[in-house]
Amino acid sequence: MAEQRELLTGEQAGEVLAAVVEAAGGRLLDWRATEVDHHGDQATVSYRTRIAWNAEVGGAGQAEVVAEETLGATCGGRLPEGVAVVGDGETRIGVWQAAHDPQLPGLRTALNPAAVAALFARCGLGSGPVSVHLRAYRPLRRAVVEAVGPLGRLFLKVVPPAKARALHDRHRLLTGAGVPAPRSLGWSDNGLVVLEALHGRTLRSALRSSRPHLHPAAVTELLDRLPTELLDAPRRTSWLERTEYYAQAIGSVVPEVSSWSTQLARSIVAESTIGPIVPVHGDLYEAQLLVDHRGAITGLLDVDTAGPGDRLDDLACLLGHLSVLAQVLPANADAITGLADRCLSTFDRQADPRQLRLRVASVVLSLATGPHRVQEAGWQQTTRRRVALAESWFDSAHRVHRGLEFPLQERNHHVSTA
């Protein structure tokens, strides 16, 4: 795994990308890995690049046109069909432009302004030029494109074609039950799901610029509105069930903390239990909640994971992300930890406080490799800090049992100065 990671993020990656771009008629000017994923023996990476493409200019011959491009690459396991392949006889790497992702054929449509303009017209959003922007991209897995036209905007979610109909149906189910998820306007056979834009900004955005007045009870009330029909979907794997996997992933990128993270994971699992299976969001954190200027929840995003699961996972996911966000945004830590402490106080009345903190520890472990995934500067040290934060949550589960718990703000301060 380490060799694959180095191959796709180190100096060799630039040589591979340059060779593929040159074969396509361009010249690689700059590149940066922005997303690193591992699935078994396969590593997949997305890159933000600048490329000078050769272009015909009237009858004056050729000139170079510089463009920003998102590329994807993968190695290990079986390479997808339809990608450029570079190899040395032992290792083979597949490379593609995001618009030609072999597992996301709908992305080619979503990134085509003319095709999206026609889509706007069919949705009654007027005719005229449309701009498209790739907001999120996980190579071979999913993408989100924001499209803005004359009379409004839409979000185009792109998933593997086999998943599009189910995602459309899930959005329709939730909006029909009064859950403020984006309404799906339709789906296509190539994996495109058309979603209405909702009012408000993400809770993460609000925490960056203000102290949102979100009442934690609004979060649990929102979860209470999830329809029971979600119980018919595949069960969402609990963070707890993947805790030891997260520890292994941490050890693979920062080997010197492998023993620490592994022992912590085993201790968390040994003391934890799974609660009743109920409808859950499955990945509930501050970027999935839209709020208005009063702090009222106006939207619930990314419902791909909604289904049967343990309510403790949703509560712990929000708390775990907030505690990590306080480390990421130290200038806003007071607002973030203030909200997290209010959430913890509310959630403690609805769940076993000890089990809640153990589950938060699992969530924080799952986030420890995030800095490596996005190739953040100094990701090794940040990974260690997140393991320390997970350990602090584990310790707090024992303190709350003895009535010695302290607020999240003190917990983050303790971890950051350790």
Residues 6+ apart with CB under 8 A from 47: 13, 17, 31, 32, 33, 34, 70, 71, 72, 73
Question: Is the entire prediction scored with pTM above 0.95?
Answer: no
- How confident is the model at residue 418, as a pLDDT? 31
Three-class HEC string of 234-286: CCCCCCHHHHHHHHHHHHHHCHHHHHHHHHHHHHHHHHCCCCCEEEECCCCCH
Query: Which of 237, 212, 199 has the alpha carbon at shortest distance from 334?
Result: 212
Q: Dump pLDDT digits (tens) for 79-121.
A: 999 999 998 767 889 999 999 999 999 999 999 999 999 989 8
- How confident is the model at residue 414, as a pLDDT? 44
Distance from C-alpha of 257 to C-alpha of 382, rounded to nearest angstrom:
12
Show the tokens assigned to 35. Answer: 């997303």
Distance from C-alpha of 355 to C-alpha of 378, rounded to nearest angstrom:
32
> Looking at the chain, how many residues does it have?
418
- How confident is the model at residue 89, as a pLDDT? 67
404 three-class SS: coil
Q: Dump pLDDT digits (tens) for 51-73.
A: 999 876 555 556 789 999 999 99
Neighbours of 295 (CB within 10 A): 16
How far from 217 is each of 235, 315, 342, 393, 410, CA to CA, in Å? Answer: 25, 11, 10, 22, 23
Query: Which of 202, 237, 253 has the alpha carbon at shortest distance from 362?
Result: 237
288 three-class SS: helix
Query: Which of 230, 202, 208 has the alpha carbon at shortest distance from 300?
Result: 202
Distance from C-alpha of 15 to C-alpha of 26, rounded to nearest angstrom:
14
Show the tokens assigned to 239. Answer: 């963070």
Q: Are 78 and 43 in contact (CB under 8 A)?
A: no
- How confident is the model at residue 1, as a pLDDT? 56
How far from 225 is each of 63, 209, 276, 347, 352, CA to CA, in Å? Answer: 58, 29, 17, 17, 21
- How confident is the model at residue 374, as a pLDDT? 85
Low-confidence ranges of the chain (pLDDT < 70): 1-3, 5, 56-62, 89, 401-418
Neighbours of 321 (CB within 10 A): 26
CA angle 322–328–329, rounded 5-degree value = 85
Which alpha helices (DSSP H) does 272-332 contain, by range? 311-328
Sheet holding 192-196, edge to edge: 131-138, 142-149, 152-158, 192-196, 184-187
